[in-house]
Amino acid sequence: MSENATPRPPIESGCPDGFQYMHPVMVKNYGNWAYHEDPEPGVLLHVAKSGDKIWTVRCGTQRILDLFTLRKLCDIADEFADGYIHFTIRSNVEYMVADEAQVQPLIKAIKDAGFIVGGTRNSVAMISHTQGWLHCDIPGTDASGVVKSMMDELITEFQEWNMPNRVHITTSCCQINCGGQGDIAINIQHTKPPKINHDLVANVCERPSVVARCPVAAIRPALVNGKPSLEVDEKKCICCGACFPPCPPMQINDAEHSKLAVWIGGNHSNARSKPSFQKLVAAGIPNNPPRWPEATAIVKRILKVYKEDAKDWERINDWVDRIGWPRFFELTKLPFTKFHVDTWRGARASLNASTHIRF
């Protein structure tokens, strides 16, 4: 290297620096906010210690966005906001303005363009979904379609502050991976063990890694028609579908036997109360595209009872903790069966709790 050569700077990859995209008022007051208020549904007002104020208007989208819609949303930012937007983790678009007089014209422009404003405080936040058909290799349903159908029916709950507290709803298209955990979660539930295409296993799958994936050690190597394959002990199989991603010939998705299930009371955060696991409240719901009416009806029924019975600011898990599960099933009129109870008794022996492969 010659004396005057300048070293090539490293190529940065990953997320770009977010500050370059932030509204100048947010950059100036970063980390120095005094308080925030909710002037109306879908609008947040943040007041900085310096006295600066910034209004945020939250706009719901259909989540999976085409380029033309994105351009339309950006044009609204250029014309009616200060030219800045950001996406929330639930795929809302938020516009920021530093002048209160801009708020109402901005809301009008958003609504005139066919979008909705809401999703703050005690509303039903935008439903989140896993990627499903678009990006993944194992979905059993189109989670984004479930979300679209449900949001169409819950649009008022997004736009208004009707709920006792905020409600996060999630959907997921398989049972094991990035699946939903929320106040209400609508998840795929397989009800039959995988069907094995023995002709393909030897060509496609790494059998030890498939065996190791099974949480209840139900898969064993086997010779079928002289070819190395796998077999499943169907008495042990819990139909989780974990063997399907590493071995597509273990086909578990099924038009009839892959159902939807509704779980409630999940809470990741420990900000105000302890985190909690979600619990199964309805299973065997038909996976019925394109509008999933049965699943939507159950979610609406749970929301109605929660709205009528919970005290102010109780999240769904707090509400059920107070009234108890028997009362929850009584109020929602959802059938309670023995399959709702899992005490995990015997789990030490049956669940795969180590990295050892057992046959």
Q: Which is nearer to ligand SF4, 41 or 194 (CB)?
A: 194
Contact by Cβ (8 Å): 342, 351: no
Between helix 103-112 and helix 67-80 the angle, nearest 10°, is 160
CA dist., res. 359 & res. 356, Å (int):
10
x/- track of binding to ligand SF4 for residues 70-99 (CB under 6 A): ------------------------------
Smaller CB separation from ligand SF4, 102 or 179? 179
Nearer to ligand SF4, 26 or 196 (CB): 196
179 binds ligand SF4 (CB under 6 A): yes
Among 132, 182, 249, 266, binds ligand SF4 (CB under 6 A): 132
Name the residue with tokens 């209400």: 184
248 in Cβ contact with 204 (< 8 Å): yes
By CB under 6 A, the residues from 225 to 244 that bind ligand SF4 are 232, 237-243
Site for ligand SF4 in 182-201 (CB under 6 A): 193-194
Min dist. Cβ of residue 314 to ligand SF4 (A): 29
CB of 133 to ligand SF4, least distance (A): 9
Where are the strands (E) in 175-254, listed by range?
184-190, 195-196, 219-224, 227-232, 250-251
CB of 277 to ligand SF4, least distance (A): 18
Closer to ligand SF4 by Cβ: residue 56 or 170 = 170
Separation of alpha carbons 192 and 325, rounded Å: 28
CB of 270 to ligand SF4, least distance (A): 24
Minimum gap (Å) between residue 285 Cβ and ligand SF4: 17
Site for ligand SF4 in 148-177 (CB under 6 A): 172-174, 177
Among 46, 58, 90, 213, binds ligand SF4 (CB under 6 A): 213
The torsion defined by the Cα of 36, 38, 44 and 49, in degrees rounded to 10, comes to: -20
Rounded to the nearest whole angstrom, what is the least distance from the CB of residue 315 to ligand SF4 in the complex?
Answer: 23
Report CA-CA distances (Å) from 239 to 106, 185, 212, 267, 344: 49, 19, 15, 25, 17
User: How many chain residues are in contact with ligand SF4, going by CB under 6 A?
Assistant: 29
Nearer to ligand SF4, 239 or 331 (CB): 239
The set of residues, in sequence order, having a beta carbon less than 8 Å from that of 255 and lying 6+ positions away, is 287
Comparison of 167 and 218: residue with beta carbon closer to ligand SF4: 218
Nearer to ligand SF4, 194 or 266 (CB): 194
Give the length of the chain: 359
- What is the footprint of ligand SF4 within residues 244-263 (CB under 6 A)? 252
Q: Where are the beta strands (DSSP E) in 92-149?
A: 93-97, 116-117, 128-129
Least gap, CB of 292 to ligand SF4 (angstroms): 15
Beta-sheet pairing, 128-129 with 169-172: parallel
Q: Determine, following the binding rule CB under 6 A, whether residue 145 of this chain makes contact with ligand SF4.
A: no
- Member of 29, 120, 123, 130 binding ligand SF4 (CB under 6 A): 130
10 Å CB burial of residue 88 (0-12, 13-18, 19+) is middle
Binding flag, residue 138, ligand SF4 (CB under 6 A):
yes
Which lies closer to ligand SF4 via its Cβ, residue 42 or residue 193? 193
Please pick, from the candidates 54, 116, 117, 218, the single residue that binds ligand SF4 as defined by CB under 6 A: 218
Shortest distance (Å) from residue 215 CB to ligand SF4? 6
Return the bridge partners of 95, or none.
57, 85
Burial tier of 93 (Cβ tally within 10 Å: 0-12, 13-18, 19+)? buried
| Alpha-carbon gap, residue 249 to 31, rounded angstroms | 52
What residues have CB less than 8 Å from 50, skipping those under 6 apart? Answer: 28, 29, 32
DSSP designation for 49: T
Where along the sequence are the contacts to ligand SF4 (CB under 6 A)? Answer: 130-132, 136, 138-139, 143, 172-174, 177-179, 193-194, 213-214, 216, 218-219, 232, 237-243, 252
